[in-house]
Structure 1
Amino acid sequence: MTVHFHEEDLPDGVLEGTSDLAVDTETMGLITHRDRLCVVQISDGSGDEHLVRFSPSSDYDAPNLSRILADPNRVKLYHFGRFDLAAIQFYLGVVAAPVFCTKIASKLVRTYTDRHGLKNLTDELLGENISKQQQSSDWGGPVLNEAQRDYAASDVRFLHRLRDELIVRLEREGRMEIAQACFDFLPTRAALDIAGWDGRDIFSHNEGYYS
């Protein structure tokens, strides 16, 4: 298991293939338009993780990374994909789909709990412990320390295994079809977030037309 660090884009030939990809992002905050994309983490499940760091002056011209993320034949695995999809679409200009979101899957089958964080899932489903100490870290600094790099890598390290476990439960409970419909809608939900409907439920009867 190795964590590979890259500046501004993936090198030629890295992560080429047909395997599904675990993807995560680190940003300066939670408001996509304001808080720039700093790091994209990506793994094909083979045991290595790749981190692509973008500088404050980046133009986000990352053709290798963008091409891989936009490949319609490779499923992208996320935990809370709504946020990552919006960040990738806003800064890199690509829709990183098709999608499997472990957080949505967890909410559909782990209805016995309200704990759907990545740490909760890896602990219960895989018996693995991950640290979240760097979650509120400064990802825009000139140097990412080893703790930050390991934290970022751990966010994609277990997603393939979690996906497999969650699919078993989704199928067992007869909820795979509705889960897939949610996954298919996520890029549209992210586009709505970018367009300004991040805090609005447009399916709700109660909110006014001009809200």
Structure 2
Amino acid sequence: MNYQIITQLKDLEQVCLQAREADVVMLDTEFVRTRTYYPQLGLIQLFDGETLSLIDPVALDEMTPFVDLLKDTSVLKVLHACGEDLEVFQNAFGCTPTPMVDTQIMAAFLGHGLSTGFAALVSEFVGVDLDKSESRTDWLARPLSQKQLDYAAADVHYLLPMYNKLLDKVTESGWWDAAKQESALQVAKRIRPSEPEKAYLDIKGAWQLKPNQLAILKPLATWRLKEAIKRDLALNFVFKEQDLWAVARFALKSPKDMEKEGFDIRSVRRHGAKLSSIVKLAEHTPKEEYPAVVERLMDFPGYKQIFKVLKDEVKLASEKSGLATEFLASKKQLNQILSWVWKHKRNPEKLPDVMQGWRLELLGVHLDKKIK
């Protein structure tokens, strides 16, 4: 397995121009995400079938040739389980690989579970057992060890023969267009812009709060998300979710009250005054501007019964198609269609996953008929 390490702009230009001559390239990234809001890019692996390059974004100040490759619509980019890779590309370069297909999704169209790992598929389709021990090492440290470099190179080296095998089988089974559709759906989901004004809806336990308490939680959650983005810090490292909820629940108006509740002292000292001012201001919110109570689907009449009916429909579609039930429609996706019907009155602008693309005819129309 031969590879080159790219740390100079002229070399980056050369390998990216060469890659743009190919119809298909293999891509992967190594990143670190521990305390940060955004994943921190440590390494990019690129294989065009002839040249395998490990691109060092830590050493390179200029990445335009690579961005041009990402945007080149004449080159299909192949990745595996690329959800976080998409976030990495979007954050680092303001774009995602276009067009793109995910081999984990391709495997799912052959009956594999959606969470099937790279090593398992390489073992099955290529007959090679990979060492995955370096997956959680520090990819921002320099120099990278030989073991890290070999590990990173293997991820795209074996991705190519695995992709070729999957492509033959997926094409033969008639799912190739669907695999591209599903990959595009993953891109759309991963690069949705953050909505600070709706951040309170993601706070665990928001449904337990009354409208006047939600009027406090809403600006608190908005502040926390904006602070996390500004400082590139994971949300709970700004202020813990459960503590933020408690501030809203009990309308805590002083750092002293927060300390009495057992909140992290450092967080209170850093943000207590700001949170107190937000609470005091929010308490003057007019009643007509209170957020609506957060409705849980499970509290809707007949939720358990209809959910079971939908699960049975998914099982039937699974038996008919050979696709895994969790890939056809996860619990989240079933709740999505219920929300679409019950909360959004089948708004065509808010279509759930099962009511579009390849899922619509196979499953969506059947599920829709079951919901009143």
2:31 aligned with 1:27, yes or no? yes
Structure 1 residue 93, shift from structure 2 partner: 1.9
Query: Per-residue displacement from partner, 1:82-135 (whole Å, max 9, x unpaired)?
Result: 221221111122221101110111112133x67611111111111122210101
Percent identity over the alignment? Answer: 20
Partner of 2:54: 51
Partner of 1:195: 194
Give distance in 2, aligned partners of 1:203 and 1:123.
35
Partner of 1:70: 71
Long gaps (5+) in structure 1: none
Q: 1:174 to 1:50 in 2, by over 3 A?
A: same
Structure 1 residue 204, shift from structure 2 partner: 4.4
Quick check: 85-94 or 113-122, which moved more?
A: 113-122
Q: Which has the higher helix share?
A: 2
Q: 1:63 to 1:185 in 2, by over 3 A?
A: same
Contact 2:15 2:53 in 1 (8 A): no
SS in 2 for 1:85: helix
Query: Per-residue displacement from partner, 1:124-155 (whole Å, max 9, x unpaired)?
Result: 11112221010111111121000000111111
Partner of 1:169: 169
Structure 1 residue 32, shift from structure 2 partner: 7.5
The CA RMSD over aligned residues, in Å, is 2.9
Give distance in 1, aligned partners of 2:89 and 2:146.
24
SS in 2 for 1:33: coil
Q: 1:84 to 1:114 in 2, by over 3 A?
A: closer
2:21 aligned with 1:18, yes or no? yes
Partner of 1:139: 139
Q: 1:53 to 1:96 in 2, by over 3 A?
A: same
Length, aligned pairs only: 203
Q: TM-score, normalised by structure 1?
A: 0.83
Contact 1:8 1:61 in 2 (8 A): no
Contact 1:32 1:87 in 2 (8 A): no
**Larger RCO, structure (CA 8 Å, separation 6 or more):** 1
Long gaps (5+) in structure 2: 203-331, 345-372
Give distance in 2, aligned partners of 1:150 and 1:95.
25
Give distance in 2, aligned partners of 1:60 and 1:90.
15
TM alignment of 1:53-202, pairs within 5 A: 53-55=56-58, 61-111=62-112, 116-192=116-192, 195=194
Q: 1:204 to 1:32 in 2, by over 3 A?
A: farther
Contact 1:75 1:100 in 2 (8 A): yes
Counterpart of 2:338, as a letter, is H
Counterpart of 2:69, as a letter, is I
Contact 1:97 1:187 in 2 (8 A): no
Q: Which has the higher strand share?
A: 1
SS in 1 for 2:12: coil
Q: 1:185 to 1:136 in 2, by over 3 A?
A: same
SS in 1 for 2:174: coil
Structure 1 residue 187, shift from structure 2 partner: 2.3
Contact 2:26 2:47 in 1 (8 A): yes
SS in 2 for 1:38: strand
